[in-house]
Chains A and B, each alone.
Chain A
Amino acid sequence: DAGVIQSPRHEVTEMGQEVTLRCKPISGHNSLFWYRQTMMRGLELLIYFNNNVPIDDSGMPEDRFSAKMPNASFSTLKIQPSEPRDSAVYFCASSTGLAGQTQYFGPGTRLLVL
């Protein structure tokens, strides 16, 4: 079975450019999570969706970040405009949404903003 799919795996961009990260959750999972991982702050939850609806976006750093989930099989995380401090690894994870069910992580997108 396919796991969580993320694209691109690596992204290098210049400050001020728009960046779009993509995620396809595991089929049948109805909760989707976006995380950011840095050396300084570890793994931080940015936002999560349940049944395509954003439930908690309190971790989104600022208005430059936005996330959408137009359907059950696709989500995007957009940064506009990007800044060097956004450089990090961004993970998408999915779960069945039931309380206590584990989250399965994708391979991540490594973002470098110059």
Chain B
Amino acid sequence: GQQLNQSPQSMFIQEGEDVSMNCTSSSIFNTWLWYKQDPGEGPVLLIALYKAGELTSNGRLTAQFGITRKDSFLNISASIPSDVGIYFCAGQLRTGANSKLTFGKGITLSVRP
């Protein structure tokens, strides 16, 4: 089946630093999504990407849909303590009404004040 790879499992950065996370797939997707999960909550959508090569920003977050359609990255600039959480990538292969997502295992981000 489809698998998404996110590594490392954990990242530790200093407040104010930029951080980049990568997600790779063994197969093609035509939608890439990045979610963030806070402790005790469900994942919340950060950015959605719908076209190969697309670069999209949401405040301090920037994400890109890889040209090969098998990867995506998320950048967080000028990190702050509330950026702490688990960041998941998710891929979707849109076929008609099929809206099934495949999730990576997530990267736990820690931000030191």
Interface residues of A (CB under 8 A from B): 4, 31, 33, 42-43, 45, 48, 50, 55-56, 91, 93, 95, 97-108
Contact = CB atoms under 8 A, between A and B. Distances in A.
Interface stretch (B20-28, B64-72, B77-85, B99-107): B99-107
Nearest to A103: B101
Of the four ranges (under 10, 10 to 19, 20 to 34, 35 or more), the interface on chain B belongs to 20 to 34
Main SS class of interface, A = strand
Given A43-B88, A105-B43, A108-B41, A99 B103 contact: no
A103 B44 CA distance: 9
A108 B44 CA distance: 12
B96 A99 contact: yes
Nearest to B96: A99
B97 A43 contact: no
Given A43-B103, A43-B106, A107-B40, A97 B97 contact: yes
